[in-house]
């Protein structure tokens, strides 16, 4: 049976909890790591390493996504991607995700099916499976994802291992999601590549394990802004980090959009969140893995994050409740 053999018409209330579960699980495939998928009290997932890397994130409608900006499929992809990026940032390979979904009773079932289509697509593209979850009624749409990963014998790369003299490097796009947010806030829907960067990120999942294999000393998922997240590394490692703007990539498309909207594209690169690139520190003797590029250095103990040797005067990134 394919997923198209089960009707997703009407609302979630009309379809019912278990009917909705049948719609979103029918015809799905699982990776070899899924020993028991959806349909029982809990899933069973193989973890050959013997250690489980786990992460969870909650996405709330109106805070993390808007359905007038994004399709349900794009929201589903984003919900999974932001979690799998955290798994990659530990040097692990994603294996599985668990989904918690809360929504009003009058939510069209097609919206939920679209969400789960996006979740399955993003998970399977990363080699992971959607192995279970829960659905409940609520006053607004909320998606919670728990992701699991396997270290494959690697030592987990934390935020606390950076040392003075290390090279700071990034892999993935920076500033694109912030530019997309600016575009969408102005009521535009193009350039599509920029708007889509806000709708769903495109993390380079394989870059995390590759960095770990190369000897990365610290690593983090850039979710709240490059400077803000490097600040977490600096604090956890008790070091300073200096970012060199001359080493940062400011894509011509970001310059084009920034000029049109009256925004500084470099600020998007430095402080814009939701791209879910990876940032890491490497010993100076290490050859950076493919796709990684140096953007700065780890400096003396406890000196915080600077830009071209100076304290950055603007907000460094996103923080909830501020």
Quote the pLDDT of residue 6: 44
* Axis crossing angle, helix 252-261 with helix 192-199, rounded to the nearest 10: 90
Quote the pLDDT of residue 40: 80
Binding-site residue set: 41, 55-57, 64, 86, 133-134, 159, 221, 223-224, 274, 318
Binding-site residue set for Mg(2+): 41, 55-57, 86, 134, 221, 224
Q: Can you give the residue ranges of every domain in the chain? A: 9-33+44-150, 167-307
Binding-site residue set for substrate: 64, 274, 318
Q: Which CATH class is domain 9-33+44-150?
A: alpha beta
Do 48 and 95 touch, CB atoms closer than 8 A?
no
Tell me the per-residue pLDDT of 129-152, one tens digit each, with 9 for 90 and over: 999 999 999 999 999 999 999 999
Quote the pLDDT of residue 15: 72
Quote the pLDDT of residue 317: 59
Residues of the chain short of pLDDT 70, as ranges, are 1-9, 18, 315-322
- In angstroms, the CA 146 to CA 103 distance is 18
Binding-site residue set for ATP: 133-134, 159, 223
**239 HSE (CA, 13 A, CB side):** 22
Please, what is the Cα angle at 29 between 45 and 199, to 5 degrees? 95
Give the CATH number of domain 167-307.
3.90.650.10
Closest to 308 measured CA to CA, from 244, 249, 264? 244
């Amino acid at each position: 049976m394919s997923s198209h053999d089960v009707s997703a018409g009407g609302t979630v209330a009309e379809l019912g909890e278990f009917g909705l579960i049948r719609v979103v699980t029918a015809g799905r495939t699982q990776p070899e790591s899924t020993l028991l998928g959806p349909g029982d009290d809990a899933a069973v997932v193989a973890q050959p390493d013997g250690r489980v890397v786990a992460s969870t994130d909650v996405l709330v409608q109106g805070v993390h996504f808007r359905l007038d900006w994004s399709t349900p499929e794009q929201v589903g992809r984003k919900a999974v991607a932001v979690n799998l990026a955290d798994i990659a940032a530990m040097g692990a390979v994603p294996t599985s995700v668990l989904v918690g979904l809360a929504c009003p009773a009058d939510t069209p079932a097609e919206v939920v099916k679209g969400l789960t289509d996006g979740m399955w697509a993003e998970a399977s593209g990363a080699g992971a499976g959607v192995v279970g979850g829960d659905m409940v009624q609520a006053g607004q749409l909320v998606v919670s994802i728990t992701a699991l990963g396997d270290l494959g014998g690697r030592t987990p790369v934390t935020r606390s291992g950076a040392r003075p003299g290390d090279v700071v490097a990034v892999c993935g796009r920076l500033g694109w999601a912030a530019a997309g947010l600016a575009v969408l806030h102005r009521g535009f829907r193009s350039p599509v590549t920029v708007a889509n960067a806000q709708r769903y990120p495109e993390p380079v999942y394989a870059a995390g394990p590759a960095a770990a294999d190369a000897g990365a000393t610290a690593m983090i998922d850039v979710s709240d802004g490059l400077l803000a997240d490097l600040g977490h590394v600096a604090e956890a490692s008790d070091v300073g980090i200096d970012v060199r703007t001359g080493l940062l990539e400011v894509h011509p498309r970001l310059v084009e959009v920034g000029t049109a909207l009256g925004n500084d594209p470099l600020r998007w690169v430095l402080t814009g969140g939701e791209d879910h690139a990876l940032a890491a520190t490497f010993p100076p003797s290490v050859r950076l893995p493919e796709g990684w590029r140096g953007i700065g250095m780890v400096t003396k103990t406890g000196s915080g994050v600077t830009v071209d040797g100076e304290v950055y005067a603007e907000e460094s990134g996103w923080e909830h409740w501020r």
